[in-house]
Protein backbone atom coordinates (compact mmCIF):
# COMPACT_ATOMS: atom_id res chain seq x y z
CA UNK A 1 0.00 0.00 0.00
CA UNK A 2 0.94 3.63 -0.45
CA UNK A 3 0.31 5.44 2.83
CA UNK A 4 0.08 9.11 3.71
CA UNK A 5 0.98 9.40 7.39
CA UNK A 6 0.31 12.64 9.26
CA UNK A 7 2.19 13.29 12.50
CA UNK A 8 1.64 16.78 13.95
CA UNK A 9 4.73 16.74 16.18
CA UNK A 10 8.43 17.51 16.00
CA UNK A 11 9.72 14.37 14.31
CA UNK A 12 11.94 12.86 15.30
CA UNK A 13 12.33 13.99 18.92
CA UNK A 14 12.81 11.76 21.97
CA UNK A 15 9.32 11.83 23.48
CA UNK A 16 6.13 9.76 23.49
CA UNK A 17 4.20 10.11 20.25
CA UNK A 18 7.26 10.68 18.00
CA UNK A 19 8.64 7.38 19.33
CA UNK A 20 5.34 5.72 18.43
CA UNK A 21 5.42 7.25 14.95
CA UNK A 22 8.99 5.99 14.51
CA UNK A 23 7.95 2.47 15.49
CA UNK A 24 4.97 2.55 13.10
CA UNK A 25 7.17 3.69 10.21
CA UNK A 26 9.72 0.94 10.79
CA UNK A 27 7.01 -1.70 11.03
CA UNK A 28 5.16 -0.55 7.91
CA UNK A 29 8.42 -0.36 5.96
CA UNK A 30 9.35 -3.87 7.11
CA UNK A 31 5.94 -5.08 5.94
CA UNK A 32 6.59 -3.70 2.45
CA UNK A 33 4.48 -0.52 2.45
CA UNK A 34 5.53 2.87 1.08
CA UNK A 35 4.96 5.85 3.35
CA UNK A 36 4.95 9.62 2.85
CA UNK A 37 5.15 11.31 6.27
CA UNK A 38 3.97 14.88 6.85
CA UNK A 39 5.27 16.47 10.03
CA UNK A 40 6.50 19.72 11.59
CA UNK A 41 9.61 21.61 10.50
CA UNK A 42 11.24 20.66 13.82
CA UNK A 43 12.98 17.40 14.67
CA UNK A 44 15.79 15.19 13.47
CA UNK A 45 15.70 13.49 10.07
CA UNK A 46 15.84 9.71 10.29
CA UNK A 47 16.48 7.40 7.36
CA UNK A 48 13.96 4.56 6.98
CA UNK A 49 13.58 2.46 3.85
CA UNK A 50 10.39 3.24 1.87
CA UNK A 51 9.73 6.41 3.93
CA UNK A 52 9.82 9.98 2.58
CA UNK A 53 9.52 12.85 5.07
CA UNK A 54 7.71 16.03 4.05
CA UNK A 55 8.03 18.94 6.45
CA UNK A 56 6.02 22.13 6.70
CA UNK A 57 7.91 25.34 5.81
CA UNK A 58 10.58 26.42 8.26
CA UNK A 59 9.20 28.98 10.70
CA UNK A 60 12.27 30.74 12.18
CA UNK A 61 10.61 32.04 15.33
CA UNK A 62 9.36 28.58 16.37
CA UNK A 63 12.19 26.38 17.57
CA UNK A 64 10.51 24.37 20.32
CA UNK A 65 7.10 22.80 20.92
CA UNK A 66 6.03 21.82 24.43
CA UNK A 67 4.58 18.36 25.04
CA UNK A 68 0.78 18.42 25.04
CA UNK A 69 -1.88 20.71 23.54
CA UNK A 70 -1.01 24.32 22.77
CA UNK A 71 -2.08 27.27 20.64
CA UNK A 72 1.24 26.96 18.84
CA UNK A 73 0.33 23.45 17.70
CA UNK A 74 -2.97 24.68 16.31
CA UNK A 75 -1.06 27.29 14.31
CA UNK A 76 1.40 24.71 12.96
CA UNK A 77 -1.38 22.25 12.16
CA UNK A 78 -2.72 24.73 9.59
CA UNK A 79 0.54 24.34 7.68
CA UNK A 80 0.35 20.57 8.10
CA UNK A 81 -3.10 20.58 6.50
CA UNK A 82 -1.83 22.62 3.54
CA UNK A 83 1.08 20.21 2.99
CA UNK A 84 -1.27 17.23 3.20
CA UNK A 85 -3.62 18.77 0.64
CA UNK A 86 -0.69 19.40 -1.67
CA UNK A 87 0.32 15.73 -1.54
CA UNK A 88 -3.24 14.43 -1.90
CA UNK A 89 -3.74 16.54 -5.02
CA UNK A 90 -0.52 15.18 -6.47
CA UNK A 91 -0.56 11.51 -5.42
CA UNK A 92 -2.98 8.64 -4.97
CA UNK A 93 -2.89 7.02 -1.52
CA UNK A 94 -4.51 3.82 -0.28
CA UNK A 95 -4.64 4.95 3.35
CA UNK A 96 -4.39 8.16 5.34
CA UNK A 97 -2.80 7.21 8.66
CA UNK A 98 -3.32 10.07 11.12
CA UNK A 99 -1.90 10.64 14.58
CA UNK A 100 -3.39 12.70 17.37
CA UNK A 101 -5.36 15.81 16.30
CA UNK A 102 -4.60 15.19 12.61
CA UNK A 103 -7.48 12.73 12.79
CA UNK A 104 -9.91 15.65 13.06
CA UNK A 105 -9.29 16.79 9.48
CA UNK A 106 -8.14 13.44 8.05
CA UNK A 107 -11.65 12.09 8.53
CA UNK A 108 -12.91 14.64 5.97
CA UNK A 109 -9.94 14.33 3.63
CA UNK A 110 -10.41 10.56 3.35
CA UNK A 111 -13.99 11.12 2.19
CA UNK A 112 -13.02 13.92 -0.20
CA UNK A 113 -10.20 11.95 -1.82
CA UNK A 114 -11.93 8.53 -1.76
CA UNK A 115 -9.40 6.74 0.42
CA UNK A 116 -9.33 4.94 3.77
CA UNK A 117 -8.65 6.58 7.12
CA UNK A 118 -6.73 4.87 9.93
CA UNK A 119 -6.77 6.87 13.17
CA UNK A 120 -3.83 6.20 15.50
CA UNK A 121 -5.17 7.11 18.94
CA UNK A 122 -2.35 7.75 21.41
CA UNK A 123 -4.55 9.39 24.03
CA UNK A 124 -7.95 10.93 24.59
CA UNK A 125 -7.44 14.50 23.40
CA UNK A 126 -10.17 15.98 25.66
CA UNK A 127 -8.41 14.34 28.60
CA UNK A 128 -5.13 15.88 27.46
CA UNK A 129 -6.69 19.32 27.84
CA UNK A 130 -7.24 18.46 31.50
CA UNK A 131 -3.91 16.70 32.11
CA UNK A 132 -1.89 19.60 30.74
CA UNK A 133 -4.18 22.22 32.31
CA UNK A 134 -4.66 23.77 28.87
CA UNK A 135 -8.11 25.17 29.55
CA UNK A 136 -10.88 25.44 32.11
CA UNK A 137 -13.47 25.97 29.40
CA UNK A 138 -16.10 23.26 29.50
CA UNK A 139 -17.23 24.39 26.04
CA UNK A 140 -13.77 23.77 24.54
CA UNK A 141 -13.57 20.34 26.16
CA UNK A 142 -17.01 19.48 24.77
CA UNK A 143 -15.89 20.60 21.31
CA UNK A 144 -12.85 18.32 21.49
CA UNK A 145 -15.04 15.45 22.67
CA UNK A 146 -17.30 15.94 19.66
CA UNK A 147 -14.34 16.10 17.27
CA UNK A 148 -12.80 12.99 18.77
CA UNK A 149 -16.03 11.00 18.67
CA UNK A 150 -16.69 12.08 15.08
CA UNK A 151 -13.17 10.96 14.14
CA UNK A 152 -13.62 7.58 15.84
CA UNK A 153 -17.07 7.04 14.38
CA UNK A 154 -16.01 7.68 10.79
CA UNK A 155 -12.53 6.15 10.78
CA UNK A 156 -12.23 2.93 8.76
CA UNK A 157 -9.91 1.57 11.44
CA UNK A 158 -8.52 2.67 14.79
CA UNK A 159 -5.28 1.83 16.57
CA UNK A 160 -5.20 2.24 20.35
CA UNK A 161 -2.08 1.88 22.47
CA UNK A 162 -3.39 0.66 25.82
CA UNK A 163 -6.37 -1.14 27.38
CA UNK A 164 -7.96 2.06 28.72
CA UNK A 165 -8.19 3.56 25.23
CA UNK A 166 -9.34 0.28 23.69
CA UNK A 167 -12.11 -0.03 26.28
CA UNK A 168 -13.12 3.57 25.68
CA UNK A 169 -13.40 3.10 21.90
CA UNK A 170 -15.35 -0.14 22.18
CA UNK A 171 -17.56 1.39 24.85
CA UNK A 172 -18.52 4.35 22.67
CA UNK A 173 -18.56 2.45 19.35
CA UNK A 174 -19.08 -1.28 20.01
CA UNK A 175 -17.70 -3.49 17.26
CA UNK A 176 -15.45 -0.77 15.85
CA UNK A 177 -12.60 -2.03 13.66
CA UNK A 178 -9.99 -1.36 16.35
CA UNK A 179 -6.76 -3.07 17.31
CA UNK A 180 -4.77 -2.35 20.45
CA UNK A 181 -1.10 -2.16 19.53
CA UNK A 182 1.11 -1.55 22.54
CA UNK A 183 4.33 0.27 21.74
CA UNK A 184 6.55 -2.67 22.56
CA UNK A 185 9.38 -1.89 20.15
CA UNK A 186 12.47 -0.32 21.67
CA UNK A 187 15.20 2.02 20.53
CA UNK A 188 17.71 -0.71 19.79
CA UNK A 189 15.37 -2.18 17.18
CA UNK A 190 14.89 1.07 15.24
CA UNK A 191 18.02 3.17 15.79
CA UNK A 192 21.67 2.51 15.04
CA UNK A 193 23.88 1.99 18.07
CA UNK A 194 26.26 4.84 18.81
CA UNK A 195 29.92 4.62 19.69
CA UNK A 196 29.48 5.21 23.43
CA UNK A 197 29.54 2.31 25.88
CA UNK A 198 28.19 1.67 29.36
CA UNK A 199 31.70 2.20 30.73
CA UNK A 200 31.86 5.61 29.06
CA UNK A 201 28.65 6.73 30.75
CA UNK A 202 29.63 5.36 34.17
CA UNK A 203 32.94 7.21 33.93
CA UNK A 204 31.34 10.42 32.65
CA UNK A 205 28.90 10.69 35.55
CA UNK A 206 31.07 9.14 38.27
CA UNK A 207 28.54 6.52 39.39
CA UNK A 208 30.74 3.42 39.59
CA UNK A 209 30.02 1.19 42.55
CA UNK A 210 26.92 3.06 43.70
CA UNK A 211 23.28 1.83 43.80
CA UNK A 212 21.89 3.38 40.61
CA UNK A 213 18.18 4.23 40.23
CA UNK A 214 17.16 5.34 36.73
CA UNK A 215 14.34 7.60 35.62
CA UNK A 216 14.13 8.14 31.85
CA UNK A 217 11.44 10.20 30.15
CA UNK A 218 9.98 13.66 29.89
CA UNK A 219 9.91 16.01 32.87
CA UNK A 220 6.26 17.02 32.57
CA UNK A 221 4.31 17.44 35.82
CA UNK A 222 2.23 14.27 35.30
CA UNK A 223 5.41 12.16 35.32
CA UNK A 224 5.78 12.57 39.10
CA UNK A 225 9.35 13.91 39.20
CA UNK A 226 8.60 15.87 42.37
CA UNK A 227 7.32 12.69 44.00
CA UNK A 228 10.51 10.87 43.00
CA UNK A 229 12.81 13.57 44.38
CA UNK A 230 10.91 13.71 47.66
CA UNK A 231 11.13 9.92 47.89
CA UNK A 232 14.86 10.08 47.15
CA UNK A 233 15.37 12.31 50.19
CA UNK A 234 14.19 9.42 52.36
CA UNK A 235 16.16 6.76 50.46
CA UNK A 236 19.51 8.54 50.80
CA UNK A 237 19.12 8.92 54.55
CA UNK A 238 19.46 5.13 54.75
CA UNK A 239 21.57 4.62 51.63
CA UNK A 240 23.80 7.72 51.30
CA UNK A 241 25.65 6.27 48.26
CA UNK A 242 22.46 5.84 46.22
CA UNK A 243 22.39 7.88 43.02
CA UNK A 244 19.31 8.83 41.03
CA UNK A 245 20.06 9.15 37.32
CA UNK A 246 17.59 11.44 35.57
CA UNK A 247 17.59 11.12 31.78
CA UNK A 248 15.46 13.63 29.86
CA UNK A 249 13.95 17.05 30.34
CA UNK A 250 14.34 20.37 28.55
CA UNK A 251 17.08 22.67 29.89
CA UNK A 252 14.65 24.90 31.82
CA UNK A 253 12.98 21.84 33.41
CA UNK A 254 16.33 20.33 34.33
CA UNK A 255 17.46 23.62 35.84
CA UNK A 256 14.33 23.82 38.01
CA UNK A 257 14.80 20.29 39.34
CA UNK A 258 18.53 20.81 39.92
CA UNK A 259 17.58 23.75 42.15
CA UNK A 260 15.08 21.60 44.03
CA UNK A 261 17.67 18.88 44.56
CA UNK A 262 20.20 21.44 45.79
CA UNK A 263 17.68 22.96 48.19
CA UNK A 264 17.16 19.49 49.68
CA UNK A 265 20.90 18.91 49.95
CA UNK A 266 20.75 15.99 47.50
CA UNK A 267 23.08 17.28 44.78
CA UNK A 268 25.56 14.44 45.41
CA UNK A 269 22.78 11.89 44.92
CA UNK A 270 21.43 13.07 41.58
CA UNK A 271 22.75 13.07 38.05
CA UNK A 272 20.89 14.99 35.35
CA UNK A 273 21.89 14.08 31.81
CA UNK A 274 19.30 16.24 30.06
CA UNK A 275 17.88 14.89 26.82
CA UNK A 276 20.05 12.27 25.15
CA UNK A 277 19.74 10.67 21.75
CA UNK A 278 17.47 7.62 22.17
CA UNK A 279 20.13 5.07 21.23
CA UNK A 280 21.88 5.95 24.50
CA UNK A 281 18.90 5.18 26.72
CA UNK A 282 19.46 1.37 26.60
CA UNK A 283 22.99 2.01 27.92
CA UNK A 284 21.59 3.93 30.89
CA UNK A 285 19.17 1.07 31.49
CA UNK A 286 22.00 -1.46 31.35
CA UNK A 287 24.16 0.37 33.90
CA UNK A 288 21.28 0.86 36.36
CA UNK A 289 20.28 -1.37 39.24
CA UNK A 290 16.64 -0.33 39.22
CA UNK A 291 14.15 1.42 36.92
CA UNK A 292 11.46 3.75 38.26
CA UNK A 293 8.28 5.25 36.84
CA UNK A 294 6.60 7.61 39.35
CA UNK A 295 3.79 8.81 37.04
CA UNK A 296 0.80 10.30 38.87
CA UNK A 297 -1.68 11.20 36.10
CA UNK A 298 -3.04 9.94 32.79
CA UNK A 299 -4.27 6.59 31.50
CA UNK A 300 -1.74 5.76 28.79
CA UNK A 301 0.94 3.23 29.57
CA UNK A 302 4.40 4.85 29.27
CA UNK A 303 6.25 3.51 26.23
CA UNK A 304 9.31 2.74 28.31
CA UNK A 305 7.43 0.17 30.41
CA UNK A 306 7.56 -2.42 27.62
CA UNK A 307 11.32 -2.16 27.18
CA UNK A 308 11.71 -2.12 30.97
CA UNK A 309 9.97 -5.50 31.14
CA UNK A 310 12.60 -6.93 28.78
CA UNK A 311 15.52 -5.19 30.48
CA UNK A 312 16.39 -7.68 33.20
CA UNK A 313 16.17 -4.88 35.78
CA UNK A 314 13.62 -4.56 38.62
CA UNK A 315 10.88 -1.96 38.17
CA UNK A 316 9.36 0.30 40.84
CA UNK A 317 6.24 2.17 39.71
CA UNK A 318 3.22 3.89 41.13
CA UNK A 319 0.10 1.80 41.60
CA UNK A 320 -1.78 3.90 39.06
CA UNK A 321 -3.94 2.84 36.07
CA UNK A 322 -1.30 4.18 33.68
CA UNK A 323 0.93 1.33 34.94
CA UNK A 324 -1.46 -1.36 36.15
CA UNK A 325 -2.87 -1.92 32.67
CA UNK A 326 0.40 -3.77 32.06
CA UNK A 327 2.15 -4.21 35.41
CA UNK A 328 1.11 -6.08 38.52
CA UNK A 329 2.88 -7.06 41.73
CA UNK A 330 4.37 -10.15 40.10
CA UNK A 331 6.49 -8.12 37.66
CA UNK A 332 7.11 -4.86 39.54
CA UNK A 333 7.04 -3.26 42.97
CA UNK A 334 3.92 -1.09 42.88
CA UNK A 335 3.40 1.65 45.48
CA UNK A 336 0.88 4.33 46.32
CA UNK A 337 1.73 7.61 44.53
CA UNK A 338 3.19 9.18 47.66
CA UNK A 339 6.87 9.88 48.49
CA UNK A 340 6.87 7.73 51.66
CA UNK A 341 5.51 4.66 49.87
CA UNK A 342 7.65 5.18 46.76
CA UNK A 343 10.77 5.42 48.94
CA UNK A 344 9.78 2.17 50.67
CA UNK A 345 9.38 0.49 47.28
CA UNK A 346 12.85 1.55 46.17
CA UNK A 347 14.42 0.42 49.44
CA UNK A 348 12.57 -2.90 49.26
CA UNK A 349 14.34 -3.65 45.96
CA UNK A 350 17.72 -2.53 47.34
CA UNK A 351 17.33 -4.71 50.41
CA UNK A 352 15.69 -7.82 48.96
CA UNK A 353 17.77 -9.36 46.20
CA UNK A 354 15.52 -12.42 46.01
CA UNK A 355 12.47 -10.22 45.38
CA UNK A 356 14.33 -8.28 42.69
CA UNK A 357 15.31 -11.49 40.88
CA UNK A 358 11.78 -12.86 41.13
CA UNK A 359 10.04 -9.84 39.61
CA UNK A 360 12.69 -9.58 36.89
CA UNK A 361 12.14 -13.21 35.90
CA UNK A 362 8.36 -12.73 35.76
CA UNK A 363 8.74 -9.48 33.82
CA UNK A 364 10.93 -11.05 31.14
CA UNK A 365 8.47 -13.94 30.79
CA UNK A 366 5.56 -11.52 30.42
CA UNK A 367 7.42 -9.50 27.78
CA UNK A 368 8.22 -12.61 25.75
CA UNK A 369 4.66 -13.93 25.97
CA UNK A 370 2.65 -10.76 25.28
CA UNK A 371 4.85 -7.88 24.20
CA UNK A 372 7.27 -9.19 21.61
CA UNK A 373 8.27 -7.31 18.48
CA UNK A 374 6.84 -10.16 16.37
CA UNK A 375 3.47 -9.62 18.06
CA UNK A 376 3.71 -5.91 17.28
CA UNK A 377 4.32 -6.56 13.58
CA UNK A 378 1.47 -9.08 13.47
CA UNK A 379 -0.98 -6.50 14.83
CA UNK A 380 0.16 -3.84 12.34
CA UNK A 381 -0.32 -6.38 9.56
CA UNK A 382 -3.79 -7.25 10.85
CA UNK A 383 -5.13 -3.69 10.96
CA UNK A 384 -3.78 -2.90 7.49
CA UNK A 385 -5.20 -6.06 5.98
CA UNK A 386 -8.60 -4.92 7.22
CA UNK A 387 -8.21 -1.85 4.98
CA UNK A 388 -7.44 -3.72 1.79
CA UNK A 389 -9.86 -3.63 -1.12
Mean pLDDT value of segment 67-85: 91
Choose among 176, 40, 73: nearest CA to 117: 176
Find the DSSP H helices in the chain.
Answer: 16-30, 71-90, 102-112, 125-131, 138-154, 163-172, 187-190, 198-205, 225-238, 251-263, 281-287, 304-310, 321-324, 339-351, 353-370, 373-385
Q: Supply the pLDDT for residue 188.
A: 63
The yes-or-no verdict on residue 13 having pLDDT over 90 is no
Q: What confidence category does residue 135 fall into, taking pLDDT thresholds of 50, 70 and 90?
A: low
Q: Supply the pLDDT for residue 131.
A: 57
pTM of the predicted model as reported, rounded to 2 decimal places: 0.81
Q: Supply the pLDDT for residue 126.
A: 64
Q: Answer whether the bond into residue 12 is a cis peptide, omega within 30°.
A: yes
Give CATH for domain 2-184+372-385.
3.40.50.2000
Q: Which of 115-124, 131-140, 231-240, 265-274 has the lowest mean pLDDT?
A: 131-140
Give CATH for domain 190-370.
3.40.50.2000
| 190-370 has the same fold as 2-184+372-385 | yes
Q: How many residues comprise the chain?
A: 389
Q: Are 361 and 315 in contact (CB under 8 A)?
A: no
Q: What confidence category does residue 64 fall into, taking pLDDT thresholds of 50, 70 and 90?
A: confident
* Percent of all residues in the chain with a pLDDT value above 70, rounded to a whole number: 94
DSSP string, 116-170: EEEEEE-S-HHHHHHHTT----HHHHHHHHHHHHHHHHH-SEEEESSHHHHHHHH
A 10 A CB-CB count for 320 gives 21
Higher-pLDDT residue of 93, 135: 93
Q: Supply the pLDDT for residue 333.
A: 98
Considering the chain, what is the average pLDDT of its residues? 92
Mean pLDDT value of segment 157-176: 94
A 10 A CB-CB count for 263 gives 9
**What is the tens place of the pLDDT at every residue in 184-217?**
877 666 666 667 899 999 999 999 999 999 999 9
DSSP string, 186-208: -HHHHS---S--HHHHHHHHT-T
Backbone angles phi, psi at 316, to 5 degrees: -120, 125
Residue-range domain boundaries for the chain: 2-184+372-385, 190-370
Q: Supply the pLDDT for residue 96.
A: 98
Choose among 225, 69, 217, 47: nearest CA to 133: 69
Q: Are 87 and 38 in contact (CB under 8 A)?
A: yes
| Separation between Cα atoms, residue 304 and residue 217, nearest integer Å | 8
Q: Supply the pLDDT for residue 185.
A: 79
The yes-or-no verdict on residue 69 having pLDDT over 60 is yes
> In DSSP terms, which residues pair with 67 in a beta bridge?
none
Higher-pLDDT residue of 281, 188: 281
**What is the tens place of the pLDDT at every residue in 295-341?**
998 888 888 999 999 999 999 999 999 999 999 999 999 999 999 99
**What is the tens place of the pLDDT at every residue in 20-50?**
999 999 999 999 999 999 999 999 998 999 9
Q: Supply the pLDDT for residue 130.
A: 59
Q: What is the DSSP letter of 278?
A: G
Q: Which residues contact 240 (CB under 8 A, 6 or more apart)?
A: 269
Amino acid sequence: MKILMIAPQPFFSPRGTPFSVLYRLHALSKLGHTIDLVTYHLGEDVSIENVTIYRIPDIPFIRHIEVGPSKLKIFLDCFVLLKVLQLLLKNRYDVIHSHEEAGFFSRWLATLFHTRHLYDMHSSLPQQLHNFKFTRSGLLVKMFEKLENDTLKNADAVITICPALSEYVQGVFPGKNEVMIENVMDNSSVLDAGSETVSDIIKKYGVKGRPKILYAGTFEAYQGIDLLIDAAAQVVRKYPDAVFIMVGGHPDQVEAYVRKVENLGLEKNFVFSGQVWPNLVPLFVELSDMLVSPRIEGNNTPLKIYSYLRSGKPIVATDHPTHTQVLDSSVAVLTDPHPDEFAEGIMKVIENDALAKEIVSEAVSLAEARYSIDAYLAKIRKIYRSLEG
